[in-house]
Amino acid sequence: EEAAQAGIIPLLKRVIEASSPLKQFALPILCDLASAGKSCRSLLWQHDILNLYLRLLSDQYFQVTALESIYLWLQDETARVEDHLTQGNNISSLVSCFVSAKTNSFENLLDPFLKITRLSGHLAVAISKPEFFERLLDRVRHANKAVVRLNLLRILRVVCDANPNRAALVERFGVLQAVERLSQKDAAVLVRELAREIIPSLNGVSPISNTVSTTPRAPPPPDRRRVRRTASETSFSSLGLSTNSNGSTRPTALAPRHPSSRPRVALRSKLTPRQTSPAPT
């Protein structure tokens, strides 16, 4: 931030736009400023650095760094950056970067693209262009690396879920058929599992709302008040009392007791005759 306050931003911009040999050193410094503090980003707005990042998306050597800087800036100032990216040809710059990227750069672009679409639903809808879907589905079918297919499926799910015309997009570009093929024939287990998770949402079905819980419900807890009342009634009945509906007690007839089945044992007196002492003489 101190360097930005000292005026380094216009100097770095001049070096980059002049295609100087120092560009490879100036550009990483300028891109790192996107994650600086609020005062530094204010200076970046003044010098139109966000548009410079967008122009760098067409440079195969710096497009990954530029896209990561755009994501970091979007993360800190989501509403303002989102509004700027959806204006004019800025969305076309993002889509062109995705469509025209070379193999190595394309693989590295997927992670910041996924983060951007997750962070901003408006941008996820805005990039839903025919050329975007064509490139995405082509790489889904022919990418050699499983991690690439995984990231492409994640981007596809985010873009389709954010789009209000999801059913039309799925039908127009044959998205469902491509995902079903991956769910059945892909060599990677994680790719097959993710494809199976995506299929219900592509069909317009929410797996959460259509899943019926088969877990048995727990029985209701016992009524403690009723248990206490029964205990009190039991004690009353043992005393020959009962309770009325209004809570008062009344005597009840007790059942006759049955004679004990144990034989009675006659009590014998164990007292010895009283001894008398001789009269005094």
CB 123 within 8 A of CB 116: yes
Is pLDDT of 210 > 60? no
Is pLDDT of 219 > 90? no
**How would residue 226 be classed by pLDDT, with cut points 50, 70 and 90?**
very low
Residues 6+ positions from 134 with CB-CB distance below 8 Å? 173
pLDDT value at residue 140: 92
Is pLDDT of 276 > 60? no
Q: What residue type is 251 in one-letter code?
A: P
Both tokens assigned to 117: 């679409």
pLDDT value at residue 222: 52
Average pLDDT over residues 36-53: 91
Percent pLDDT > 70 in the chain is 72
Q: How far apart are CA 211 and CA 195, in angstroms?
A: 18
- The burial of 115, by beta-carbon neighbours within 10 Å (0-12 exposed, 13-18 middle, 19 or more buried), is given as middle
- Is-above-0.85 flag for pTM? no
CB 139 within 8 A of CB 152: yes
Higher pLDDT pick, 253 / 27: 27
Give residue-wise pLDDT tens across range 87-124: 888 999 999 999 999 888 899 999 999 999 999 999 99
pLDDT value at residue 250: 53
**For residue 105, which phi and psi values (nearest 5 degrees)?**
-65, -35
Q: Cα Rg for the chain, rounded, in angstroms?
A: 42
Is pLDDT of 280 > 80? no
Average pLDDT over residues 225-241: 47
Strands (E), the chain: 241-243, 249-251
Is pLDDT of 192 > 80? yes
Is pLDDT of 269 > 60? no
Nearest to 49 by CA among 18, 20, 10, 82: 10
* Chain center to CA of 174: 28
Is pLDDT of 137 > 90? yes
**How would residue 3 be classed by pLDDT, with cut points 50, 70 and 90?**
confident
Give the SS3 label for residue 47.
coil
Q: How far apart are CA 185 and CA 103, in angstroms?
A: 23
Higher pLDDT pick, 28 / 274: 28
Average pLDDT over residues 32-52: 91
Give residue-wise pLDDT tens across range 54-89: 999 998 889 999 999 999 999 999 999 999 999 888
Give residue-wise pLDDT tens across range 154-180: 999 999 999 988 888 899 999 999 999
